């Protein structure tokens, strides 16, 4: 995953947390988004492994 995409995602996440949840649930929001992001990365890695092994 490219750095640019990750940076814009993190920027969006920060704005999203500030506007929607405020400071109390920033940690929770980050946890949820982090989990989703991790899942996406795992899926991408698995797809690339499948492509390589052909």
pLDDT score of 25: 66
The pLDDT of residue 50 is above 60: yes
pLDDT tens string 6-45: 888 888 878 876 776 665 567 777 888 899 999 999 999 9
DSSP result, 19-40: III-GGGHHHHHHHHHHHHHHH
Asked if 17 contacts 25 with a C-beta cutoff of 8 angstroms, the reply is: yes
pLDDT score of 35: 94
pLDDT score of 3: 83
Dihedral sign for Cα 20, 22, 35, 13, please: positive
Selected residue with higher pLDDT from 45 and 3:
45
Q: Report domain extents, the chain.
A: 3-53
Selected residue with higher pLDDT from 21 and 50:
50
């Amino acid at each position: 995953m490219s750095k640019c995409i990750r940076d814009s995602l993190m920027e969006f996440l920060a704005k999203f947390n500030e506007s929607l949840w405020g400071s109390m649930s920033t940690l929770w929001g980050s946890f949820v988004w982090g989990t989703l992001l991790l899942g996406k990365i795992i899926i991408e890695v698995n797809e690339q492994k499948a492509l390589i092994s052909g």
